[in-house]
Amino acid sequence: MIFHFLKIKAVVPNTKKSVLVSFDVPHTLQSTYSFKPGQHVCLDFFLERNNYRRTYSIYSAPADNQLSICVKRQHLGIISNYINDAFFKGLPVNVSQPFGDFFNEAQLHNCKAIYLWAGGSGITPLLSIAKYVLLKHSNIHVNLVYANQDLQSIILLDEIEQLESAYVNQFKVMHVLSAANNENMTEKLFAKKRKVLNYKQGVITADYIKQIVKVNGLHYLCGPQGMMALCKNTLQQLNINDHDIKVEHFAGSNTIAKANINATIVVNINGTKTQVPSTGKSLLDAMLANNIKPPYACQAGTCGTCKATLVNGEVVMSRDFALNEADRSSNKILCCQAWAKSDIVEIKY
């Protein structure tokens, strides 16, 4: 994966807990950083002697000619808090080229409607897709169902409302707010200035999904795991084909209690074998801690860059979203999400 240092063009507060960050892409790197809707970039940091990588979806659309991400603070999130607190215009940041295949334009052939199911910061790749489809496919209706806590926690609300105004007959937005309070004066004032006067109070339910889905179309899901599982199950009950349900997984925290902290990891890269101790770390972290540099990017189990073959031993996997059935049956694992379980684990690149 190719990385370059890009200077930050702007950092703009969005909600109380999120910022919008856009990058300056020099003319010579325009083709490297051209992107498709729904793709993401990986940011690489070296902070207090540790290397961190985090993946963020691009919320802008290709026609915006701008590479922009939105970063929401996470509880105890070292990097998300660093970005919210310390990013400033002109700061160089090591950014990967865009990647990901959440959206495939060929699938829009004969499509009359798309449904975007978003929760919290899951809106970012879906907004990029919405902008793209609205601009390029005037015959396709775009329906966005967006779940948040309350009015003030809705990320990218300005951009959503601009699209609503620009595409009155083509774009429909339904907000679902779990902790909205009609009696709260601050919320009343906030709502007055916005279009979000009508929203569903509560959470997305199976019945609600069944009410919303009126015609056949493609479904794109991005949000908390529970919400996505509910949406996917309900859409399947409605006999929607799995091919028409696209799911983008978020990064999350991993804690592996069953890991063998005294295991030996044998790493075979192009025929050269090296042994490292597991010390309770993921296979990837154990290698990095011992100056082995295997391929990796997101460190969140979503990009698939750290894929390797498990030759010997047993591992426990935290998440394996980037593996398909063929990968699993040929013993592929994601090293950023795998912890040694047996005393010896051998992997091969």
Which residues of the shown chain bind ligand FES in the complex (CB under 6 A)? 296-299, 301-306, 322, 334, 336
Q: Considering the complex, what minimum distance in angstroms separates the CB of residue 303 from ligand FES?
A: 4
* Nearer to ligand FES (CB atom), residue 115 or residue 296: 296
What are the contacts of 226-233 at 24+ separation with CB within 8 A?
227/117, 227/119, 227/147, 227/203, 228/117, 228/119, 230/204, 230/205, 230/206, 231/117, 231/204, 233/206
Report the 10 Å Cβ neighbour count for 329. Answer: 9
* Nearer to ligand FES (CB atom), residue 235 or residue 298: 298
The span from the CA of 287 to the CA of 289, in Å, is: 5
* Nearer to ligand FES (CB atom), residue 157 or residue 286: 286
Q: Considering the complex, what minimum distance in angstroms separates the CB of residue 182 from ligand FES?
A: 43
* Nearer to ligand FES (CB atom), residue 157 or residue 303: 303
Q: Considering the complex, what minimum distance in angstroms separates the CB of residue 66 from ligand FES?
A: 25
**DSSP one-letter string for 51-78:** EEEEEEEB-S-GGGT-EEEEEE--TT-H
* Nearer to ligand FES (CB atom), residue 235 or residue 300: 300
* Nearer to ligand FES (CB atom), residue 310 or residue 334: 334
Residues β-bridged to residue 41: 56
Q: Considering the complex, what minimum distance in angstroms separates the CB of residue 51 from ligand FES?
A: 12
The closest alpha carbon to 107, from 263, 218, 14, 203, belongs to 218
Distances in Å between the alpha carbon of 179 and those of 16, 101, 121, 147, 191? 16, 33, 17, 11, 14
Q: Considering the complex, what minimum distance in angstroms separates the CB of residue 347 from ligand FES?
A: 13
**Run of H or E residues at 6:** strand 3-13
Q: Considering the complex, what minimum distance in angstroms separates the CB of residue 262 from ligand FES?
A: 24
